[in-house]
């Protein structure tokens, strides 16, 4: 049984964290995840964060964007559309620990020359101080809630060293109403049992604003945390100190 608490983040595991998912089961799950992001505005939150970080950017300079936990690459394809619309040059790199998801992402992005994908363990990359993490902007969309607070704190400190411009975190608000509404939403719009299960676990593992603020206080960078519909937080960390006056 999936439990919810307003006082603490759940430690229950998501089925999708099993990196052996593949084939039709994986394809159907990814379709459900795209439905959630499309109908509940998840993609827009991240794209708006990119535009905020690049307000004063010289468009003659390319921007390298690293998407952690990229899934099937939908966010990066949306980033590619944003670059075309706004006149940016983006070098887009998707990272996911599930090699089967990366194969799916490569297939769906084969017509996007600016997008590349790689599969590696992000914590091993952090421990080895891998150059693969060097970039301008790092995206963490529905990514941080998979980890405990201690791991997130260490994770963000290293990522803030690797990103020259900033980090955009788009993650869930732990809220009883959100937990209940997702049950209703999933009944009508989600087909797979895995997505229905993992969606509820995600809300239970999600964050209160004060918890994100505590994590932010341990970083030596300016950041803003704002609530967005539907029950999400947009957390923008500026690693370029003079970005906001």
Residue 6 falls within a domain, yes or no?
no
Q: DSSP states of the chain as a string?
A: -----SSS---PPPGGG-TT--HHHHHHHHHHHHHHHHHHTHHHHHHHHHHHHTTT--TTS-EEEEEET-TTSHHHHHHHHHHHHHT--EEEEEE-S-HHHHHHHHHHTTT-TTEEEE---HHHHHHTT-GGG-EEEEEEES-GGGS-HHHHHHHHHHHHHHEEEEEEEEEEB--HHHHHHHHHHHHHH---HHHHHHHHHHHHT-B-HHHHHHHHHTSSSEEEEEEETTTEEEEEEESSTTS--
The pLDDT mean for the chain works out to 91
What are the backbone dihedrals phi and psi of residue 58, each rounded to the nearest 5 degrees, phi first? Answer: -75, 110
- Whether residue 243 is predicted with pLDDT greater than 80 in this model: the reply is no
Q: Quick one: pLDDT band at residue 241, thresholds 50, 70, 90?
A: low
Residue 10 falls within a domain, yes or no?
no
Residue 3 falls within a domain, yes or no?
no
- Whether residue 17 is predicted with pLDDT greater than 90 in this model: the reply is no
Among 197, 150, 208, 192, residue whose Cα is nearest residue 14: 197
- Whether residue 120 is predicted with pLDDT greater than 80 in this model: the reply is yes
For residues 58 and 21, which has the higher predicted lDDT (pLDDT)? 58
> How far apart are alpha carbons 20 and 43 in whole angstroms?
26
pLDDT at res. 244: 41
User: For residue range 214-229, what is the model confidence (pLDDT) as tens digits?
Assistant: 999 999 899 999 999 9
Strand partners, 115: 92
Q: Which domain holds residue 92?
A: 15-238
Residue 29 falls within a domain, yes or no?
yes
User: For residue range 66-104, what is the model confidence (pLDDT) as tens digits?
Assistant: 999 999 999 999 999 999 999 999 999 999 998 999 999
> How far apart are alpha carbons 201 and 118 in whole angstroms?
27
Residue 12 CB partners (closer than 8 Å, separation 6+): 2, 3, 201, 204, 205
What total number of domains does the chain contain? 1
Mean pLDDT score, 116-133: 86
Mean pLDDT score, 7-31: 81
pLDDT at res. 19: 64
- Whether residue 168 is predicted with pLDDT greater than 90 in this model: the reply is yes
Residue 34 falls within a domain, yes or no?
yes
Residue 7 falls within a domain, yes or no?
no
Query: CA end-to-end span of the chain, whole Å?
Result: 48
Residue 9 falls within a domain, yes or no?
no
Q: What's the CATH number where 37 sits?
A: 3.40.50.150
pLDDT at res. 30: 78
Residue 19 falls within a domain, yes or no?
yes
């Amino acid at each position: 049984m999936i439990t919810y608490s307003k006082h603490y983040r759940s430690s229950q595991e998501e089925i999708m964290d099993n990196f052996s998912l593949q084939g039709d089961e994986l394809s159907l799950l990814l379709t459900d995840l795209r439905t959630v992001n499309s109908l509940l505005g998840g993609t827009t939150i991240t794209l708006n964060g990119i535009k905020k970080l690049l307000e004063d950017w010289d468009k003659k300079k390319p921007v390298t964007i690293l998407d952690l936990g990229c899934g099937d690459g939908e966010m990066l394809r949306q980033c590619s559309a944003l670059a075309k619309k706004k006149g940016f040059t983006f070098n887009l790199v998707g990272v996911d620990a599930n090699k089967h998801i990366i194969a799916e992402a490569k297939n769906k992005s084969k017509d996007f020359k600016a997008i590349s994908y790689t599969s590696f363990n992000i914590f091993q990359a952090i421990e080895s101080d891998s150059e693969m993490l060097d970039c301008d902007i790092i995206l963490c969309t529905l990514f941080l809630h998979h980890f405990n607070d201690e791991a997130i704190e260490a994770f963000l400190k290293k990522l803030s060293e690797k990103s020259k411009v900033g980090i955009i975190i788009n993650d869930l608000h732990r809220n009883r109403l959100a937990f209940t509404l997702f049950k209703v939403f999933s009944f009508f719009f989600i087909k797979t049992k895995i997505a229905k299960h993992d969606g509820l676990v995600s809300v239970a593992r999600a964050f209160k604003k004060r918890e994100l603020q505590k994590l932010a206080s341990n970083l030596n960078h300016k950041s803003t945390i704002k609530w967005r519909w539907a029950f999400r937080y947009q957390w923008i960390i500026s690693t370029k100190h003079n970005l906001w006056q």
